[in-house]
Amino acid sequence: MKENFQNIINSSQQTLVDFYADWCGPCKSQTPILKELAATIKGKARIIKINVDNNQALAAKFQVRGVPTLILFKNGQVVWRQSGVATKQQLSDLINQNL
């Protein structure tokens, strides 16, 4: 997963990473927002979900202390990050600003 993850975030296409946990209530409310967002941003960004319980080393590398934590990458660089639930509009605006 680690090598594949690096390849994904190093892409010139923006990648929004949702660090989440199955037991996390706010993470469960973030999921449908991300599904709606994915339908509206086709081709502008990729959205991936990383379970912090199954990928502890990756979560530690990016200093994920709480879930959900959303991180937007472009060309391997962190463009934006936030802990807590983000709205569809907030994420859409963010992606459009960083095209």
User: pLDDT tens-digit profile of 23-49?
Assistant: 999 999 999 999 999 999 988 999 999
Smallest CA-to-CA distance from 87 within 21, 36, 19 is with 36
Name the band, by pLDDT with cuts 50, 70 and 90, for residue 99: confident
Which run of H or of E encompasses 39?
helix 25-40
Q: What is the pLDDT of residue 42?
A: 86
Span between the terminal Cα atoms of the chain, in Å = 26
Annotation says 24 is catalytic: yes
51-95 pLDDT, tens per residue? 999 999 999 999 999 999 999 999 999 999 999 999 999 999 999
Name the band, by pLDDT with cuts 50, 70 and 90, for residue 96: very high
What are the boundaries of each domain within the chain?
A: 5-98
Greater pLDDT, 99 or 24? 24
Q: What is the pLDDT of residue 52?
A: 98
What is d(CA 22, CA 19) in angstroms, rounded to the nearest whole number?
10
Identified catalytic residue from 8, 24, 48, 79: 24
Identified catalytic residue from 27, 37, 64, 94: 27
The CATH number given to 5-98 is: 3.40.30.10
